[in-house]
Amino acid sequence: MCEHYMFIRRKIQGKVLEYLEKKGEVMDKELLEVLSKEYNVSYNELLNILMSLEIEGFIRVRPVKESSFIIQKAEQKKQ
């Protein structure tokens, strides 16, 4: 992968977390709409980014319908 792509991807991940900090939870379509104002991101790219953030423990994604999801910021574990 190109370094530029990875940089943009991290910026989008940061934007997702920032938006979730404000909203608490959001539907996938709303998040795509918000991100599309700043970045050229497809729905498939968004799902890939969300999967990465979920694996890293930053967010939780739960299905609402067959092709619709609610995204929430994961609660941080206290050490």
CATH of 3-73, one of 3.30.70.580, 2.60.40.1760, 3.40.50.11540, 1.10.10.10: 1.10.10.10
Between CA 62 and CA 46 the distance in angstroms is 15
Mean per-residue pLDDT over the chain, rounded: 90
DSSP helix/strand/coil, 49: helix
Considering only CA atoms, give the Rg of the chain.
12
pTM of the model: 0.86
Domain boundaries, the chain: 3-73
pLDDT at 78: 54
Q: Is the pLDDT of residue 77 over 70?
A: no
Q: Is the pLDDT of residue 79 over 70?
A: no
Q: What is the pLDDT of residues 32-61, one digit of tens each?
A: 999 999 999 999 999 999 999 999 999 999
